[in-house]
A and B are shown apart, each in its own frame.
Chain A
Amino acid sequence: MLEGYIPIFIIIFISAAFAFLNINLSSLLGPNRPNKEKLSTYESGMEPIGTAHDRFSIKYYMVAVSFIVFDIEVVFLYPWAVSFLNFPKPEMIYSFVIGLIFIVVLAVGLIYEYKKGVLKWD
């Protein structure tokens, strides 16, 4: 039963060995002259200000969570909207109602968020 997997195991082994060899070879063969600039965090040329072990404002999380919810909403609604017109009529009504329920539930969430002041930034 496992014979079919042998090529996969070989690929896994080769890729692991390749990665391991390359990383170690480059650190072994390459010159090693560290300085302060090289060792600092690379963030697109910005100067780092302190460490990441800090408490972030809750607003970032709120925005992130809302973003995920509505991002996924779009992912679901897009195929729904595209295939909508291809259905025969009874199924069209059916899929319209189902889509509507989905949107209403999310809208209630958005109303809740808005009234609780999650979307206020200051």
Chain B
Amino acid sequence: MIQLHELQFIIPLITICVASVLVLIVEVFSRNREVVFAVTTLSVFVALIITIRDISYSTIILNNFININNVSSGFNIVVLLSVLLSLLESRSYLIKKQINFGEYYAIILFSLIGMMLMVMANDLLIVFLGLEMMSICFYILAGFMRKRIKSNESALKYFLLGAFMTGFLLYGITLIYGVSGTTNLMVLFSNTLLHQEPLFLIGVGLFLIGFLFKIGAFPFHMWVPDVYDGAPTIVSGFMSTAGKIAAVATIFPIILKLNILDYRIIISVVSVLTMMFGNIIALAQTNIKRLLAYSSIASAGYLLVGLAAFNDMALRGILFYTLAYSFMQLGAFIVVGIIEKSSSDNKDFSNISLDSYKGLAKRNPVLATIFTLFLFSLAGIPPFAGFWGKYYLFVAAIKANLIWLSIVAILLSVIGIYYYLKVIVYMWFTDPETDETYIMSPLGTTAIILSIAGTIFFGLFPEIFFELIRFY
């Protein structure tokens, strides 16, 4: 039986739940999208503030189903932050694309419930429940431009592959339960005798595969470029930050606490292949959304480098990288969304090839500067937050004596700089072919300013973040 006082620990979750139901009611009775947008943004903001206030809570509640601690609260803050940033830009983008339906905001909130639940889960069934809530909302969001073939294609591809990979995840949970007789994570962590059982190892492996699909790691990455290319740009940004961070925040602490060192070599190899694939294929891209998609595959590789380290530094690095990543990746997608135009028949995207970025600096120097900044941060050039994100991850790998892995990772991220610089060269050192102008909405500008502030602030003072979130 749930004690009433336990509910105070999940006020952010309850806020989002109530808001999501409220949004549906407002949508059907008044059809006023302004109110819907205001309720959504406000609830996410309130949840963010309360999560930051309650960062020091550490407890296991609700029949051992929910585990609240520094790590889960820290990841929840990052997830809420990226949802908030993408919401701010959503409205003007949806109006531009003529898909400003109230359901969009409801679905965003539903997926947010799933993500927060998953991050705080202390039971494999809650993990599964949260993941499915998130994924089903993503399938809908990817196909949100229902009149566009590409959007439909991306939704269908994502749905079929996602449903298939859910099978792996469930098989994993089944095997873990079959061997241990429990789905409670705390019991699984403490029972080290289990960690020698071959069936248990297979179960954890299958479980890991289900999540590697969600974070887009090699060899389960093929959906990433197609889905991010076809989905509405702001949704791509949302999926590649909030969704990926929630998946990372769920699986990485579980794997780190299980501490099965047999997995180290597998994770290292997967991370090298992921970085290699993401960075090298990205070199050949001429479509900016696909380029960012491959760069997000590469980022999954960097995160896996941290996971392979299996030490205390790893979790710090992963948390910092996800924070930096949410600012810079979402910022880049917001800029792409601003530059994107609808084709004349409104059936397909236009202005997403690299050619549309030619001479951007002469046409709109502000936008070009902003985009350059985000790309520098993604490339990992100091003094931006992206540099410190990679730094902490690679240091964790070195501390764990994985020198070869960190050398490979650094070399591959150097390759990555090339394609980011290619976009920058297009913007600054070529002549413009058109004289299009771009409209920045006030809320979108706020989102961009927040992203820039985060990228630069955490680039200059990375340690402040760890002051906020104390570990252990």
Report Cα–Cα, A50/B21, bound state, in Å. Answer: 43
Residue pair B28, A115 in contact (C-beta under 8 Å)? yes
- Please pick, from B1, B2, B21, the residue contacting A108 in the complex, using a CB distance under 8 A: B21
On chain A, which size bracket covers the interface?
A: under 10
B29 touches A115 (CB 8 A): yes
Q: Considering only CB atoms, which chain A residue lies closest to B29 in the complex?
A: A115
A112 engages B24 (CB within 8 Å): yes
Report if A116 contacts B (CB, 8 A): yes
Interface residues of A in 73-122 (CB under 8 A from B): 91, 94, 105, 108-109, 111-112, 115-116
A94 to B1, CA, bound (A): 8
- Chain B positions within 8 Å of A112 at CB level: 24-25, 27-28
How far, in angstroms, from A116 to B25 measured CA to CA in the complex? 11
Closest to A98 in B: B2
Question: Contact: B25 with A111, CB < 8 Å?
Answer: yes
Interface of A is mostly: helix
Which residues of A have CB within 8 Å of B1?
Answer: 91, 94
- CB-nearest residue of chain B relative to A114? B28
User: Is the beta-carbon distance between A111 and B28 smaller than 8 angstroms?
Assistant: yes
Query: Contact size class for B?
Result: under 10
Binary CB contact string for chain B from 1 to 27 against chain A (1 if under 8 A, 0 otherwise): 110000000000000000001001101
Assembly CA distance A108 to B24 (angstroms): 8
Q: Judging by beta carbons under 8 Å apart, are B28 and A116 in contact?
A: yes
User: With the chains together, A116 CA to B29 CA distance in Å?
Assistant: 10
Asked whether A105 and B28 contact (CB < 8 A) given A91-B1, A94-B1, the answer is no
Determine the distance from Cα of A116 to Cα of B101 in the docked complex, in whole angstroms.
12
Name the CB-closest residue of A to B28: A115
Which residues on B sit within 8 Å (CB–CB) of A94?
Answer: 1-2
Report the minimum CB–CB distance from A98 to chain B (whole Å). 8
Chain A residues within 8 Å of B21, by CB: 105, 108
Chain B positions 27-52 with a Cβ under 8 Å from a chain A Cβ: 27-29
Q: Tell me the complex Cα distance, A68–B1, Å.
A: 28
Specify the chain A residue showing the minimal Cβ separation from B4: A94
Bound form: Cα–Cα A105–B20 in Å: 10
Considering the chains assembled together, what is the distance between the CA atoms of A109 and B27 in angstroms?
12
Minimal Cβ-Cβ distance residue in B for A109 = B24
Q: How far is the CB of A120 from chain B (nearest CB, A)?
A: 14
Q: Which B residues are CB-close (under 8 A) to A108?
A: 21, 24-25
Q: How far is the CA of A91 from the CA of B28 in the complex (A)?
A: 35
Least CB separation from A94: chain B residue:
B1
Q: Which residues of the partner chain B approach A105 to less than 8 Å between Cβ atoms?
A: 21
C-alpha gap A91/B2 in the complex (Å): 10
Q: Shortest Cβ distance from A61 into chain B, in angstroms?
A: 14
For the complex, give the distance between the alpha carbons of A105 and B27 in Å. Answer: 15
Q: A108-B25, A111-B28 given; name 15 further pairs at CB < 8 Å.
A: A91-B1, A94-B1, A94-B2, A105-B21, A108-B21, A108-B24, A109-B24, A111-B25, A112-B24, A112-B25, A112-B27, A112-B28, A115-B28, A115-B29, A116-B28
What are 13 A-B interface contacts by the 8 Å CB criterion? A94-B1, A94-B2, A105-B21, A108-B24, A108-B25, A109-B24, A111-B25, A111-B28, A112-B24, A112-B25, A115-B28, A115-B29, A116-B28
Give chain A's interface residues, CB within 8 Å of chain B.
Answer: 91, 94, 105, 108-109, 111-112, 115-116
Q: Which 7 A-B pairs have the closest CB atoms?
A: A115-B28, A112-B24, A108-B21, A112-B28, A108-B24, A94-B1, A108-B25
